[in-house]
Amino acid sequence: MNDFFEDKLIRKFKGKTISFDVLGVPPHKDTSFSIRNSKHSNHDRFLAIRKAAKRAMGKIPYYKGSVKIVFHYRRESGSRSLNDYLSGICDSLDGSHGFTFHWSPVVFLDDCQVVEAELSQESSSKDMYSIKVCFL
């Protein structure tokens, strides 16, 4: 895709937002073994957020401009910090490839596009989280 069409797509979606909820514990950053790997014990968390994000994106292709993420976690059992979860969420929504896997971007191309984030949590009787992505 050339720069003209990329700029046009950014202008078209700038100012829009998507929102979605996911039941369960969010994906987390694991520097020793990528959650993107199908053999990771929490790979299902990676797949769950990507499925919800794809549904929320509808016909919007992944965004190439800056984004803001609003993450609210209703926590029962998750034990990681909100920052670890945010990193895992960003890794799940962007594209990535390695020697044994390739994942196309769902919401944005790279997590360096996340220039602002709001994180919050509350106690709950079940794990569930909400994500809102604002296209800046």
The residue ranges of every structural domain in the chain are: 18-135
Strand ranges for the chain from DSSP E: 17-23, 67-75, 96-97, 102-103, 114-123, 128-135
Closest CA to 107 of 19, 3, 12: 19
Q: What is the pTM of this model?
A: 0.89
Per-residue tens of pLDDT for the chain, all 136 residues: 556 656 777 788 899 999 999 999 999 988 888 888 889 999 999 999 999 999 999 988 899 999 999 999 999 988 899 999 999 999 999 987 666 667 899 999 999 999 999 999 999 999 999 999 999 9
- Which of the following CATH numbers is that of domain 18-135: 3.30.1330.70, 3.40.50.300, 3.20.10.10, 2.40.50.100? 3.30.1330.70
Query: In the chain, count of helices (H) and strands (E)?
Result: 3, 6
Distance CA 26, CA 42 (A): 9
Distance CA 20, CA 35 (A): 20
